[in-house]
Amino acid sequence: MAKRRGLPKKYAKMGFKRGWAAYKRTRRPTTTRSRKRPVRATRRRPMAKRRTYRRKTANILTSKTAIDGYIAEGGKYIVRKVIGGGPLYEAGVDAAVGLFRHNNTLTAQAIVKGVTAFLPNLNLGGGVTGGGIR
């Protein structure tokens, strides 16, 4: 005959919680448990070393940045010879190379160059006596 599952009838009369507690007490081994020995400090095992991951594209990224710089400088040289140059034109070349080559650093540098080149040309309303934006 198959073994019955669940709590025996004798313990089920006590209720779920008290019945299972009493049943488990009868099933525990009668031998005394051995005391755990304290772990000595010298017996501790060192923590496993963490695995390190290296990017394989690190050298490619640095060479891409250098190539972008060379392209931008060549474009600025051409602009200086053909158009006559100027800081705004050079900032435009930097921005174009940065956008086409997906180089955020070059694009940001171009924006800063363009703003700093354009700001002195703005007349913000300041006259001889002062005034302007405050």
pLDDT of residue 133 exceeding 60 = no
pLDDT of residue 1 exceeding 80 = no
Beta strands in 9-129 (DSSP E): 126-127
The model's pTM is 0.45
Q: Which sequence spans correspond to the domains of the chain? A: 70-121
Percent residues over pLDDT 90 in the chain: 13
Helix (H, G, I), strand (E, B) or coil at 14: coil
Mean pLDDT across the chain: 79
- 1-24 CB burial, b ≥16 within 10 A, e <16: eeeeeebeeebeeeeeeebeeeee
